[in-house]
A and B are shown apart, each in its own frame.
Chain A
Amino acid sequence: MSVRKKFIEELEGRKSFLLGDEACAYGAIYAGCDFFAAYPITPASEIAEKMAEVLPQMGGKFIQMEDELGAISAVIGAVWAGAKGMTATSGPGFSLMQEGIGYGVMTETPFVVVDVQRSGPSTGQATKPSQGDVMQARWGTHGDHNIIALAPWSVEETFYLTVEAFNLAERYRTPVLVLSDGEIGHLREPFVFPKADDIEVENRFYGEPPFFGGGGLVPPMSKFGRGDFVHITGSTHKPNGLRDVETQSVHDELVRRLYDKIEKNREKIVKTNLDAQSGSKFGVISYGVSARPSYGAVLQARRKRIKVDFLRLVTLWPFPRNQVREFTKNLRAVLVVEENLGQMVREVERFAQCRVEFFGMIGGRTPSVSEIYSALKGMF
Chain B
Amino acid sequence: MSLHQVKFSGFGGQGIILSGFIVGRAAVIYDKKNAAFTQSYGPEARGGYCSAEVIISDETIEYPFVMEADVLVTLSQEAFKKYASILKKDGALIYDPDMVKLSKLPETVRVYPIQATKIAEELGNKVVANVVMLGFFTAISGEVSEEAMRRSVLDSVPKKFVDLNTRAFNRGLELGKALLKKC
Contacts and interface: CB of A to CB of B under 8 A. Distances in A.
Contact of B64 (A127, A128, A292, A299): A292
A183 B63 contact: no
A229 interface: no
B176 interface: no
A265 interface: no
B41 A187 contact: no
B39 interface: yes
A171 B135 CA distance: 52
A67 interface: no
Given A127-B41, A188-B24, A17 B62 contact: no
Contacts of B43: 42, 126-127
A17 B41 contact: no
B25 interface: yes
Interface in A251-268: none
B28 A17 contact: yes
Contacts of B21: 17, 188
Contact of A187 (B34, B36, B42, B67): B36
A368 B63 contact: yes
Contacts of A369: 62-63
A94 B63 CA distance: 27
B35 interface: yes
B29 A15 contact: yes
A15 B42 CA distance: 30
Interface in B1-32: 21, 24-25, 28-29
Interface string A120-152: 000000111000000000000000000000000
A189 B62 contact: no
Contacts of B28: 15, 17, 190
A366 interface: yes
Contacts of A312: none
Contacts of A127: 41-43
Which of B21, B24, B37 gathers most chain A CB within 10 Å? B37
B38 interface: yes
B63 A292 contact: yes
Interface of A: 15-17, 42, 126-128, 183, 186-190, 292-293, 295-296, 299, 366, 368-369
6 contacts: A16-B29, A188-B37, A190-B34, A292-B62, A293-B63, A295-B62
